[in-house]
């Protein structure tokens, strides 16, 4: 960032996206700066500051959908009554698990998504809730499911467009959702993340979702595994959850690095998926009472 010579303060998302286009690839959007300022990049000459664009709102629409502006901070997600009352407060819980308090006060959900690390901590829970993201190039607005937003490590579909925010359908408001990440310390990059969601009616699971982070080039949904959750009687769930967990582990393609081996990450996807599904459904883990680890 040391070559930045001009700082723009647009007052609307459209103005910001237009300014970005005018910089012809030499500008960058700046939200909280907690990722950007550490990168020490030298290829940017212009900063497009998003703090006055009005994208810091969390709202419920008339139809019950939850809208989250891209500049909402992780602290606001953690503390908002609107996120606490939606899907078991799973979004608030995921936000509370990111970094430390000073970081969460500055870091935004948009920055977390747009930085597009496979290990970005807000992504699995939003994927599990089928979030849709909205973006603009300054002239028109587009939307895609979050599952189509990431095209590779640190790559999204944005191509210079501005992320406006994301929406989650009100039909997920009563889902039971939980996410968990494994790290050495709370500020380390996640080794593995899993988020699961279930829609339960009476003694039947109507459908469910399993999303994973840090175990593939982009965050992913375990769609094949999710098929086993459709119209599943709770009585059959303990055994079915073990199969769902095996399939989720088979879906991921993690790497070996200095933090963990691919095998460890794969094994942890199986364990976390099974345990989180049991936790969300309020049933005992079948492997636990068989005495297996």
Applying CB under 6 A, which residues contact ligand FAD? 28-36, 38, 50, 70, 74, 98-99, 103, 107-108, 110-112, 114-115, 120-121, 158, 162-163, 187
Least Cβ distance, residue 218 to ligand FAD (angstroms):
14
Cα 91 to chain center, whole Å? Answer: 9
Closest CB to ligand FAD among residues 108, 147:
108
Closest CB to ligand FAD among residues 124, 208:
124
In angstroms, the CA 240 to CA 139 distance is: 48
Least Cβ distance, residue 166 to ligand FAD (angstroms):
10
Sequence-distant (≥ 6) Cβ neighbours of residue 62 within 8 angstroms:
none
Are 282 and 178 within 8 A, CB to CB?
no
Closest CB to ligand FAD among residues 80, 112:
112
Closest by CA position to 190, among listed 249, 112, 74: 112
Closest CB to ligand FAD among residues 11, 284:
11
Least Cβ distance, residue 77 to ligand FAD (angstroms):
10
Least Cβ distance, residue 65 to ligand FAD (angstroms):
19
Least Cβ distance, residue 293 to ligand FAD (angstroms):
28
Strands (DSSP E) along the chain, which ranges? 6-8, 27-30, 46-49, 58-60, 66-69, 132-136, 141-145, 150-152, 155-156, 162-168, 176-182, 192-201, 204-213, 220-221, 232-233
Closest CB to ligand FAD among residues 10, 32:
32
């Amino acid at each position: 960032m040391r070559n930045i010579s001009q700082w723009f303060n647009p007052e609307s998302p459209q103005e910001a996206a237009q300014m970005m286009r005018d910089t012809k690839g030499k500008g960058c959007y700046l939200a909280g700066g907690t990722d950007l300022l550490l990168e020490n990049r030298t290829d940017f000459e212009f900063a497009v500051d998003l703090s006055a664009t009005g994208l810091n709102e969390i709202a419920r629409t008339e139809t019950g959908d939850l809208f989250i502006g891209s500049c909402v901070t992780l602290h606001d997600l953690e503390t908002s009554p609107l996120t606490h009352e939606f899907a078991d407060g799973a979004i608030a819980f995921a936000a509370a698990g990111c970094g430390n308090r000073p970081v969460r006060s500055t870091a935004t959900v948009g920055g977390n998504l747009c930085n597009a690390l496979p290990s970005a901590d807000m992504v699995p829970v939003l994927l599990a809730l089928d979030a849709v993201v909205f973006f603009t190039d300054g002239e028109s607005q587009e939307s895609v499911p979050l599952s189509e937003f990431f095209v590779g490590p640190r790559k999204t579909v944005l191509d210079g467009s501005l992320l406006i925010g994301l929406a989650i359908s009100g039909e997920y408001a009563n889902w039971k959702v939980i996410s968990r990440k494994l790290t050495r310390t709370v500020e380390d990059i996640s080794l593995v993340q899993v988020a699961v969601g279930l829609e339960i009616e009476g003694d039947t699971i109507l459908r469910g979702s399993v999303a994973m982070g840090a175990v593939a080039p982009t965050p992913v949904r375990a769609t094949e595994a999710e098929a086993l959750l459709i119209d599943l009687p709770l009585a059959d769930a303990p055994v079915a959850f073990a199969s769902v967990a095996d399939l989720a582990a088979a879906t991921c393609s993690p790497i070996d690095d200095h933090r963990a081996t691919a095998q460890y990450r794969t094994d942890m996807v199986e364990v976390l998926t099974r345990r989180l599904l049991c936790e969300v459904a309020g049933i005992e883990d079948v492997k636990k009472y068989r005495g297996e680890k």
